[in-house]
């Protein structure tokens, strides 16, 4: 098995430690491997999308980055049918996007949010 080196801030390390204990993982590496497997599986599912797609996209971001999120959102006005914006108590925002559009555009929308350093959580649910 290959060994890689990554840098993580203290908050992420605490979260990984908590997951390790709560879910019974044998170590932090196992938690990270499980997260990577989930990301790979989600991407495989997304890559199979074709034609017109209906779905919901959840995005959580720090409140201070709302302008950056809005820039991404405006690129996909045609695909975003409804948006709900909610302020969370932790100075974060929850964005809920109801989507309908060509699979490739939906994939690009999700990719733009996932690759942004301004988002903390991105989850696509398709019908």
Strand partners, 82: 98
3-state helix, strand, coil in the chain (%, to 5): 45, 30, 25
Q: What is the pLDDT of residue 85?
A: 96
Give 9's pLDDT tier (boundaries 50, 70, 90).
very high
Domain residue extents for the chain: 10-45, 51-126
Q: What is the pLDDT of residue 10?
A: 93
H or E segment to which residue 97 belongs:
strand 92-102
In angstroms, the CA 35 to CA 19 distance is 11
Q: What is the pLDDT of residue 49?
A: 86
Residue entry with tokens 């049918």: 81
In tens, the pLDDT along 86-97 reads: 999 999 999 999
In tens, the pLDDT along 101-116 reads: 999 999 999 999 999 9
**What CATH number does domain 51-126 carry, 3.90.1150.10, 3.30.70.1150, 3.40.50.620, 3.30.390.30?**
3.30.70.1150
In tens, the pLDDT along 34-68 reads: 999 988 988 888 788 899 999 999 999 999 999 99
């Amino acid at each position: 098995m290959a060994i890689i080196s990554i840098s993580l801030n203290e908050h992420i390390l605490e979260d990984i430690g908590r997951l390790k204990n709560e879910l019974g993982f044998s170590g932090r590496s196992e938690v990270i491997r499980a997260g990577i497997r989930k990301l790979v599986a989600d991407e495989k599912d997304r890559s199979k999308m074709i034609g017109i797609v209906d779905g919901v996209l959840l995005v959580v971001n720090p409140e201070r980055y709302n302008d950056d999120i809005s820039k991404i959102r405006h690129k996909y006005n045609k695909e975003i049918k409804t948006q709900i914006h909610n302020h969370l108590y932790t100075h974060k925002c929850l964005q809920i996007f109801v989507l309908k559009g060509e699979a490739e555009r939906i994939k690009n929308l999700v990719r733009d949010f996932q690759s942004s350093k301004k988002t903390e959580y991105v989850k696509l649910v398709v019908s």
